[in-house]
Amino acid sequence: MITAELKRKVRKLKKFENTVRGQNGMGAGVPPVWDRFFDLRDGGSHKSMALHSLSELAAMSRDEYKAVVDEFFARVYYEVYIHNGIIDAPVYDPSLLEQLGLPPISDEAAVKKRFRDLAKKYHPDTGGDAGKFIKLMTVYRELQ
C-alpha cells in the first residue's frame, strides 16, 4: 500500500470516529480510540503508545490491515455503547478479549472455549504457570 494512500485511509478512520463520537455526545473527557491505535508520524526516535505505526501498517497484508480496522471499529462502538449505557447483549471489552488472544467480535461460546483451553494449559496442577493462570482467572472474571 502506498504511504500517502495509507495515510488518507487511516485519517478517514479518525474522521469516522469523530463523527460517531459527535453524534453520540461523547465529549472531550473520553479519549479517542484512534489516538491509541494509530501513529502516522514517520519513523524517527519518538516513542508512541499507539498500537500501530505507519510503517507497521504499510508492511501488513490486506487481511492483516482489515483485521486492524475491524478491531478499531469494534473498540469505537464498544466505547460508544458503554458511554450511552446501551450494552445489553454480551459485548465484551476488546482489550480483555485481546489478552485471551480472541478477536474483538468474539461471542460467549468463543470466550468459554478459549478460557477452558488456556486454563488447561496454565493450571498449576498440570505443570502450568501459576502467575499466568491467576491473570487468566482475573481476565475471565472481568468478562463475566
Q: Read off φ and ψ for residue 57, nearest 5 degrees.
A: -65, -40
Are the C-beta atoms of residues 58 and 6 closer than 8 Å to each other? Answer: yes
At 26 the pLDDT is: 66
For residue 29, what is its C-alpha cell? 473527557
Average pLDDT of the residues of the chain:
81
Distance CA 4, CA 2 (A): 6
Are the C-beta atoms of residues 68 and 60 closer than 8 Å to each other? Answer: yes
Each residue's pLDDT, cut to its tens digit, for the chain (144 residues) gives 467 888 889 889 988 888 888 776 666 667 788 888 888 876 545 566 778 888 888 888 989 889 888 888 888 888 887 777 776 556 677 788 888 888 877 888 888 999 999 999 999 888 888 888 898 898 888 887
Question: What structural domains does the chain harbor?
Answer: 3-84 (no CATH), 94-143 (1.10.287.110)
Helices (H), 61-107: 62-84, 94-99
Are the C-beta atoms of residues 81 and 93 closer than 8 Å to each other? Answer: no
Are the C-beta atoms of residues 33 and 79 closer than 8 Å to each other? Answer: yes
